[in-house]
Structure 1
Amino acid sequence: MIIKSPSPAIEIPNISWPEYFLARIEPYHKEIALIDGDSGRQINYDELKKNIRSVAAALQQKGYKKGDVFAIYAPNIIEYIYVFQSVMLIGGVITTANPLYTAGELEHQLQHSKAICLLTTSDLLEKVGPMLKATLVKDIFVFNHGDAANSFDLLMQDNNATELQSVSIDPLNDIAILPYSSGTTGLPKGVMLREMERNNHPNEVSLCLNNL
């Protein structure tokens, strides 16, 4: 059964999510965009945009490209949105892992998703470090890790963000997010999320979900 809204149809632009997101936050500049509930740390929209572009440029400089899968294994922190937006900006794919996962559960998801980069926290890294050898992960970036060589903070430094290379993204077909849902039986299953998929009916829009 198709249930239609009584409201008029909306116009969904045929652009990528990063393009839409960055355009929408452009007017807000110094207004507060994010607040960390635990520390009270605040980020305004100009800082948000700058950090997203800096991380995206840094990832490109490290050789990451469209279609590469990045895994986030961390609790909710401000840097989460930097990763999401910057990875999608370069055409990458995000897969999120529950920070309560055991090493074995994470290993399954990293192997199945073919993630080649892991972003996590220092306490979680200590728990899963030995298991990573069985995955395709080649780089690990750690949130709030000071001056360490693999600190995520290094990606947010001025990385000549103006030289960020544009990437052609097809919002109807390119995969953006790869979450895992256990469903009712068996191991967690990957769900490929595209930006949006328009149906044959102009007034109907559905999120495209495909199980791996």
Structure 2
Amino acid sequence: MEKLWFKNYLPDTRHHLIYPEGPVFQFLIDSARQYPENDAIIFADRHITFSQLDLITNRFARFLQDKGVRKGDRVAILAPNCHQNVIGFFGALKIGAIVVQNNPMYVERELEHQLNDSGSETIVCLSDLYPKIKNIRANTRLRNMVTFNLDGSPVSTGDDTVDLQAVINDYSSEYRQESVVPEDLALLQYTGGTTGVSKGCMLTHRNLVANVLQTVEVVGKNYRRGDDYVIGVLPLFHVYGLTCIMNMSVYMGVAMILFPRFEPKMVIEAIHRYKVGVFFASPTMLIAINSYKEIGNYDLRCLHTCISGSAPLPNEVKTAFFKLTGVEVVEAYGLSEASPVTHSNPVNGKVKIGSIGLPVSDTDMRVIDINSGAECSVKQTGELWVKGPQVMKGYWNKPEETANVLEDDWLKTGDVIEVDEEGYVYIVSRKKDVIIAGGYNIYPVEVEDVLFTHPKIQESVVVGIPDAYRGETVKAVIVLKESETATTEEIISYCRTKLAAYKVPRKVEFRRELPKSAVGKVLRRVLREE
């Protein structure tokens, strides 16, 4: 590709960055010194300044050491977005422990797998979720149980657990500082399980530090450093939220407004009240805000930066949000194995509709033909490979799976793409999602783009299902807009006017909602399995 993308970098965007040699928690120490009285976290009506957050995480670090937690030990967190999640993360990192974020929506079987796979012996857990842990504890290596209530009130589980709020109140802030170097592991970020059994991506301090600086270089142009607000509704247990909301906010010295779940009204009110500047979102969230019935009562034109990731962004959603806010939503791309950001359209730069943009600083890419393994050129379809300082060391305790995705430091993403003559990347499909019907390759996103233009359709996803004659055939699963009705024949007829015959869905199913991950990504695998 000869780094075609460089010519569309903004003039002040550096091709190569200099990364600090410190650990990721140094961001917090630095911001506590530079912006001690600035809000770091706003959760409900609670405000925590950077100096307070630094002090509290020191106390939690001391507690962990008193409980025998040492450098390299795994500390699990099972919590939604809340200040306790942030405390657990930075407190564990300060003593050189490795954080294991867990999805609060997981059932006991899934949690047991991740806790055992990671070898976690300590967990920080929301009290409402503690019954799940209690039921599986005997099957794990857990020995330190720390629980909390969202409002900070005392916890009483009746078991040998420790109340996090008591730790924050009572423990000394003096802890034994470990030598933590950039190549040390900081995080086991488990993949969401959307493509099978979840695996722990080994992300180092260098990976996380690098990806924050890379992302700031491309999308942080409008941040008011030390004086801004960021909506924190993307889950921190997902690497998108962890890097782009938590770590970026701490690095930039700005306040993250945390929400344990996405509720359009609460997010809209927070943007209006605090004059929020930054919103990292998913298309699902933007759709909900665009269609909120009372949106006219709020002023969202304070926003200056909005990034969409985790799923393709329909142009209709982007256009509607611009009319509402005056902000051009910038589409970006990443994956857990890359901390996560590898590509983005440049904020304040040239944005191409339907594209995930350009590789971020210090990130190289290849496009490899999925059949021949040959390297592709411009406008040829193939698998995206990326290389950069944000790419993981591998999967935890899974050398074979690691060898399947890492080759000479290149990460095979599994996404099928095309690159245009200016270096902009377009996702065609997941390699595993390609539908092969009668010998033709059908890319679901192409069919979904057509479905989204239908005036009655709010959301849709296309999957391949077994077909005795064609091998596979196309099925569309559709969510209609409120109060709308449609028939299978109507949808198929519409598609026939816009798609080649072999791409037209043969089956249509209407649903109230689609199965989604915590960040709003449609779980296509779930639909295929059904």
Q: Write the mapping of 1:10-49 to structure 2, written as runs, cut at 5 A.
A: 10-36=17-43, 39-49=44-54
Shift of 1:125: 0.8
Aligned residues: 204
Out of 59, 67, 70, the residue aligned to residue 65 of structure 1 is: 70
The structure 2 residue matched to 1:157, chosen from 169, 172, 189, is 169
Q: Tell me whether 1:180 sits opposite 2:181 in the alignment.
A: no
1:208 aligns with 2:385: no
Task: Report the Cα distance in structure 2 between the residues aligned to 1:120 and 1:20, rounded to whole angstroms.
Answer: 25
- What SS is found at the alignment partner of 2:100? strand
TM-score (norm 2): 0.37
Q: Which stretches in structure 2 are left out of the alignment for 5+ residues? A: 211-360, 363-387, 397-530
- The structure-2 alpha-carbon separation of the partners of 1:131 and 1:147, relative to structure 1 and needing over 3 Å to count, comes to closer
Distance in 1 separating the partners of 2:100 and 2:178: 20
Q: Offset of 1:160 from its aligned partner?
A: 2.4
Structure 1 52/31 Cα, relative in aligned 2: closer, same or farther at 3 Å? same
For residues 147 and 102 of structure 1, do their structure 2 counterparts lie closer, same or farther at Cα, with a shift above 3 Å needed? closer
CA distance in 2, matches of 1:127, 1:109: 13
Over the residues paired in the alignment, what is the CA RMSD in angstroms? Answer: 2.1
3-state DSSP of counterpart to 1:178? strand
Give the Å deviation of 1:184.
5.2
* Deviation per residue, 1:6-37 (Å, 9 max, x gap): 4223321111111243113312122211111x
1:174-197 per-position Cα deviation (integer Å, ceiling 9, x unaligned): 110001114554311110101226
- SS of alignment partner, residue 167 of structure 2: helix
Q: Distance in 2 between matches of 1:55 and 1:21?
A: 14
Could you say which residue in structure 2 is the equivalent of 1:120? 125
Q: Give the residue type in structure 2 aligned to 1:32.
A: D
Q: 2:85 aligns with which of 80, 84, 87?
A: 80
Matched position secondary structure for 1:211: coil
Aligned 8 A contact 1:72 1:118 in 2: yes
* Structure with max Cα Rg: 2
Alignment CA distance shift 1:2-1:91 (3 Å): farther
How far the C-alpha of 1:112 sits from its partner, in A, is 0.4
Residues in 1 aligned to 2:75 and 2:115: alpha-carbon distance in whole angstroms: 9
Show CA shifts across 1:62-100 (max 9, x none): 211101101111111111111111101000011111111
What does 1:135-150 correspond to in 2, within 5 Å? 135-144=140-149, 146=154, 148=156, 150=162
Does the aligned pair in 1 maintain the 2:154–2:165 contact within 8 Å?
A: yes
Change (3 A) 1:63 1:128: closer
Deviation at 1:107, TM superposition (A): 0.4
SS in 2 for 1:187: coil
Corresponding residue SS for 1:14: coil
- For 1:169, the equivalent position in structure 2 comes to 180
The answer on 1:55 being equivalent to 2:60 is yes
User: Within 5 Å, which residues of 2 pair with 1:79-98?
Assistant: 79-98=84-103
Structure 1: unaligned runs, 5 residues or longer: none
Code of the aligned partner of 1:49: D
CA distance in 1, matches of 2:181, 2:137: 32
- Cα gap change, 1:42/1:186 in structure 2, threshold over 3 Å: closer, same or farther? same
* Separation in 2, partners of 1:165, 1:141: 20
Match runs of 1:104-119 below 5 Å = 104-119=109-124
Percent identity over the alignment? 27
Shift of residue 137, structure 1, vs aligned partner: 0.5
Segment drifting more, 21-30 vs 43-52: 21-30
- Give the C-alpha shift of residue 59 in structure 1: 1.0
- The match for 2:206 is 196
- 1:90-131, Cα deviation, whole Å (9 max, x unpaired): 000111111110011100000100000111122211233121
Q: Secondary structure at the match of 1:161?
A: coil
Which residue of structure 1 aligns with residue 104 of structure 2? 99
The letter of the residue matching 1:131 is: I
CA distance, structure 2, for counterparts of residue 167 and residue 152 of structure 1: 22
Instruction: Name the CA shift for 1:89/1:190 in 2 (closer, same or farther; >3 Å).
Output: same
- Structure 1 pair 115/191, CA: closer, same or farther in 2 (3 Å)? same
The letter for the 2-side match of 1:121 is: L
